[in-house]
A and B are shown apart, each in its own frame.
Chain A
């Protein structure tokens, strides 16, 4: 277990370093902050709504596009360069390697969300918002982003091509987000309810309303766990089943 944590931290540091060595972090972080900042300013100064709820919704949509860019290279690059082959020959557990990469992506997400806290300064200066929903919203967007990253790393394990990984991730995320809309097409109630329950947008909506529902936390953590296991299995398959 100690070795597992150690290898995870080694990989996490290396991946984080590579984000800031390449232009990825320097493009994604400013774009995320500028675009979400624009929508936040529009909501605060033009619509005169002194809450973060609109900003959180906009961030969630923005992350649908940003998350694939953050995760696309994580495994696809290793697959393309052949370093996965070298990693297989090392005594490091695959699960720790995947986890280290995942945490690096989540750290980039945290930095982006941390940067967005500057929005709170004008919010508290010009309004009197309730801190509860802001905290819940940040927890929701963090969990949502973490699910996005887990999906992204899984799709990245499947391909050598980063563009394919990014497009595949976006596709899955869009399905997860818009699943609730299939409710209208469900002929049986059971399916309608299931679609609504499985749609990540429904669970995220609860957080934005200022609620921290346990079932939504469990749902999001389950999705993270599911895609982590799928990523592990995909890597394992390359070693044992190809």
Chain B
């Protein structure tokens, strides 16, 4: 859906973004992570048609970013870092106004506005002037305008900044729901956000991509938990340990993967598991492993793993 090839941006001779390339598929959420000034916002501004790139190409839903920007703007939803809202407008009126500017058919505007209000849980605030809203609610109004036209491409610049924990949770659900039919790029510097929302991450520093990583190994779900298990064998067997672990996990239907760098001769094995609360629990997982004569030495949330990776790249 989004294909970025060697995109660069220089302003007054300074390279802000240097030759970055990545892609995002339909239904995928790409986390764009990096320290302040890394070039995240500039990249999103380029992709949102707000500024033109200095070099490189990008296609979105088959449309070229430079040549077909009009077509791209028809299918794009964009929430800037600080949503620029008009303080004198009431929430509903603002969304109506934005819906008109987004070329939504007049007959469909009330439905689209109501839907965005419902999804962003703004129904108690619809008749309040934006200037009187809290920062968190303003952020939600910004998100509501971005999803008004059910965009096929959604670009979100730090959408959970200044939200309280409950609002963050709700915003994550909204973003995940939007990703069913869209390609989403989500910029943040909060690592927990990445773990909870994104399928893949692109780590950017000093305008360059430093690291790309898949996060999810299984299906997306609000309650997905990623764990790192360290397992040893209670009873030795001729079958290699990782093979025994694979058999057990496959039998109980848990999505898993082994770390890319591992030593099969070791007595312990590390495995990344992906659980959902609805049909799987940590208890069932450990029970099954123990029943297969395997010893679960440690269970850790995978966040710490990812966090460490990211921090290592940030330090470089």
Contact check, A242 vs B51: say whether CB atoms are below 8 A apart. Answer: yes
CB <8 Å contact, B101 and A90: yes
Structural contact, B101 and A17, CB atoms closer than 8 A: no
Interfacial chain A residues near B97, Cβ < 8 Å: 10, 14
The answer to whether B86 touches A14, judged by C-beta atoms less than 8 angstroms apart, is: yes
Q: Is B172 an interface residue (CB 8 A)?
A: no
Given contacts A239-B51, A242-B11, contact A91 B73 (CB under 8 A): yes
Interface residue count on the A side (C-beta < 8 Å):
26
Residues of A within 8 A of B11 (CB): 242
* Pairwise interchain contact A239-B52, C-beta atoms closer than 8 A: yes
* Distance A160 CA – B45 CA, assembled complex (angstroms): 18
Judging by beta carbons under 8 Å apart, are B80 and A85 in contact? yes
Given contacts A82-B82, A85-B84, A86-B78, contact A10 B48 (CB under 8 A): no
B22 contacts chain A at the CB level, 8 A cutoff: no
> Could you say which of B84, B88, B103 contacts A86, with CB atoms under 8 Å apart?
B84
**A240 in the interface (beta carbon within 8 A):** yes
A89 and B88 in contact (CB under 8 A), knowing A10-B100, A82-B82?
Answer: no
Complex interface: chain B residues within 8 A of A18 (CB):
86, 88
Asked if B80 and A92 make an inter-chain contact with CB atoms under 8 angstroms apart, the answer reads no
Contacts of B102 in A (CB 8 A): 90-92
Q: Which of B96-143 contact A (CB under 8 A)?
A: 97-98, 100-103
Which residues in B have their C-beta under 8 angstroms from that of A239? 49-52
**Is B281 in the interface zone, CB < 8 Å from A?**
no
Does residue A184 face the partner (Cβ distance < 8 Å to B)? no
A215 close to B (CB within 8 Å): no
Q: Which residues of B contact A126 (CB under 8 A)?
A: none
Asked if A6 is at the interface of the complex by the 8 Å CB criterion, the answer is yes
* CB-contacts of A82-106 with B (<8 A): 82-83, 85-92
Interface size on B, residues (CB 8 A): 27
Cα separation A14 to B95 with both chains bound (whole Å): 12
Q: Taking the nearest CB of chain B, how far is it from the CB of A241, in angstroms?
A: 8
Distance of A21 Cα from B89 Cα, bound (Å): 9
Q: A81-B84, A242-B11 are in contact. Are A89 and B78 (CB under 8 A)?
A: yes
- Binary interface profile of A, 7-22, with partner B (CB < 8 Å = 1, else 0)? 1001000100110011
How far, in Å, is B83 (CB) from chain A's closest CB? 8
Are A89's CB and B76's CB within 8 A? yes
Residue among A6, A14, A78, A239 with the highest chain B CB neighbour number at 10 A: A14
Main secondary structure of the interface of A (DSSP, over half): helix
- Check B52 against A240 for contact (C-beta < 8 Å): yes
B74 within 8 A of A: yes
B287 on interface, CB distance cutoff 8 Å: no
In angstroms, Cα B101 to Cα A87, docked, is 8
B70 contacts partner chain A, Cβ-Cβ < 8 Å: yes
Q: Which of A14, A87, A91, A241 has a CB less than 8 Å from the CB of B74?
A: A91
Question: A61-89 interface mask toward B, CB cutoff 8 Å, 1 = contact, 0 = none?
Answer: 00000000000000000100111011111
List A contacts of B89 (CB < 8 A).
14, 17
Q: Which residues of B contact A88 (CB under 8 A)?
A: 48-51
Least CB separation from B94: chain A residue: A14
Q: Are A22 and B84 in contact (CB under 8 A)?
A: no
A residues near B (Cβ < 8 Å) are 3, 6-7, 10, 14, 17-18, 21-22, 78, 81-83, 85-92, 238-242
CB within 8 Å of A: which residues of B? 11, 45, 48-52, 70, 73-74, 76, 78, 80, 82-86, 88-89, 97-98, 100-103, 145
Given known contacts A81-B84, A86-B50, what 8 new A-B pairs fall within 8 Å (CB)? Answer: A6-B100, A10-B97, A78-B84, A85-B50, A89-B73, A89-B78, A90-B102, A91-B103
9 tightest A-B CB contacts, nearest first: A83-B84, A21-B88, A89-B48, A89-B78, A91-B73, A88-B50, A85-B50, A82-B84, A81-B84
- Could you give 28 example pairs across A and B, Cβ below 8 Å? A7-B100, A14-B86, A14-B89, A17-B88, A78-B84, A81-B84, A82-B84, A83-B85, A83-B86, A85-B45, A85-B80, A86-B80, A86-B145, A88-B49, A88-B50, A89-B48, A90-B73, A90-B101, A90-B102, A91-B70, A91-B73, A91-B101, A92-B102, A92-B103, A239-B50, A239-B51, A239-B52, A242-B11
